[in-house]
């Protein structure tokens, strides 16, 4: 989480600049940076990211507008864990969510691939999704890494609201604190 906290001027780079412009075009001029993160699926791990809606992790904010920009750092294929989406799910209510595994923070909802569409993309390309969009990724069954850079935007007032309610996507929690929980 928060690579922009560790790399000087990362938020002034092209990725953040372009993602912010896209967020403002589709959701309004009040959109601002909320958080960023890097994710990686190691080769031959076959670890699935379970089907979920990002909004299931959020505190109950008055304005739910948000966009996640998921940028492939490597070609994202069906075999190495590209994103899969349930079309139109952003226009429906949240599905019930539960812990994917006891003792872990990861949430999941019911569903299966038959209602989803795979979205393979080339390195440097991106997908966009709303907090209610149901999505997941298969594991990585290839011998190559699959990495992605994720940037999230929401209304500036909601970012302030989140921080005032103690919700900062793990920024204030040190790595040692997180490791103690696992």
- Residues 141-153: tens digit of each pLDDT: 999 999 999 999 9
Burial of 34 by CB count in 10 Å (0-12 exposed, 13-18 middle, 19+ buried)? buried
Mean residue pLDDT of the chain comes to 91
- Summarised one tens digit per residue, pLDDT across range 88-121 is 999 999 999 999 999 888 999 999 999 999 999 9
Q: Tokens in use for 119?
A: 């979205």
Classify 83 as helix, strand or coil.
strand
Asked if the model's pLDDT at residue 69 lies above 60, the reply is yes
Q: What is the pTM of this model?
A: 0.88
pLDDT for 179 equals 41
pLDDT for 4 equals 86
Asked if the model's pLDDT at residue 51 lies above 60, the reply is yes
Q: Where are the domains of the chain?
A: 3-181
Contacts of 143 (CB under 8 A, 6+ apart): 43, 44
Q: How many angstroms separate the first and last alpha carbons of the chain? A: 16
Which sign, positive or negative, has the C-alpha torsion 11, 32, 149, 182?
positive
Query: C-alpha dihedral over 49, 104, 53, 144, to 10 degrees?
Result: -20
Tell me, which fold does domain 3-181 have in CATH?
A: Jelly Rolls (2.60.120)
How far is residue 69's CA from residue 127's CA, in Å, rounded to a whole number?
6
Contacts of 130 (CB under 8 A, 6+ apart): 66, 67, 68, 90
pLDDT for 13 equals 85
Burial of 87 by CB count in 10 Å (0-12 exposed, 13-18 middle, 19+ buried)? exposed
Classify 65 as helix, strand or coil.
coil
Burial of 86 by CB count in 10 Å (0-12 exposed, 13-18 middle, 19+ buried)? buried
Closest CA to 169 of 151, 181, 144, 156: 151
């Amino acid at each position: 989480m928060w690579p922009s906290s560790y790399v000087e001027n990362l938020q002034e780079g092209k990725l953040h600049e372009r993602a912010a412009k896209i967020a403002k075009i589709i959701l309004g001029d009040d959109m601002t940076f909320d958080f960023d993160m890097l994710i990686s699926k190691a080769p031959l791990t076959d670890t699935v990211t379970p089907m979920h809606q990002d909004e299931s992790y959020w505190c109950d904010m008055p304005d739910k507008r948000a966009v996640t920009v998921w940028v492939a750092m490597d070609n994202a294929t069906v075999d190495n864990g590209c994103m899969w989406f349930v079309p139109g799910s952003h226009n429906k209510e949240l599905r019930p969510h539960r812990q994917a595994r006891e003792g872990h923070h990861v949430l999941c909802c019911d569903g299966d691939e038959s209602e989803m569409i795979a979205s393979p993309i080339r390195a440097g390309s991106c997908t966009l999704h709303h907090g209610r969009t149901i999505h997941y990724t298969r594991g990585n069954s290839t011998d190559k890494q699959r990495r992605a850079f994720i940037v999230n935007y929401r209304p500036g007032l909601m970012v302030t609201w989140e921080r005032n309610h103690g919700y900062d996507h793990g920024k204030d929690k040190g790595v040692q604190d997180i490791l103690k929980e696992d």
